[in-house]
Amino acid sequence: MKASDARAMTVDQLDDEVLKLKKEQFNLRFQRATGQLENTSRVRVVRRDIARILTIARQKRAGDEPKLAAAPVKPKQAKTEDSQPARAKPKATAKRRAPVKSRSKPNPKSRAKAKKSKK
């Protein structure tokens, strides 16, 4: 169901539609549990339809229904020969750093173990 269809309904009709969708959701849950559900995407669609209808019903009860008005379209500016497009500034290149050398000293005990294992 589209939001525009739901907005055309009254609050009572929306409540009836939610009840019908909740019953369908219940049946879909049982079909999924028993392995009989073929159209698995229907679960998601029904869940979202319920949420959409509940949102619209809440808006209607509160009187916060959004007004659907067309946004004003800005006219395009005509290009003239005198106006030149602004050039993009070149990106700053990052300076490469020298690789960081390890500052830790080697462990003398690990060297001794390595020598013993080679023998």
**Percent residues over pLDDT 70 in the chain:** 66
pLDDT band at 73 (very low <50, low <70, confident <90, very high): low
Q: Is residue 110 part of a domain?
A: no
pTM (two decimals): 0.54
Q: Give the percent of the chain with pLDDT over 90.
A: 48
63: left (phi over 0), alpha (psi -120 to 50) or beta: left
Q: How many domains does the chain have?
A: 1
Instruction: Count the Cβ atoms, other than its own, within 10 Å of residue 3.
Output: 13
Where does the pLDDT of residue 63 fall: very low under 50, low under 70, confident under 90, or very high at 90 and above?
Answer: confident
Residue 9 belongs to domain spanning: 3-62
3-state secondary structure of 62: helix
Tell whether 77 is covered by a domain: no
Within 10 angstroms of residue 50's Cβ, the number of other Cβ atoms is 19
Q: Tell me whether residue 101 is in a domain.
A: no
Residue 24 has pLDDT above 80, yes or no: yes
- Determine, yes or no, domain membership for 8: yes
Domain of residue 22, CATH code: 1.10.287.310
Residue 15 lies in a domain: yes
Residue 7 lies in a domain: yes
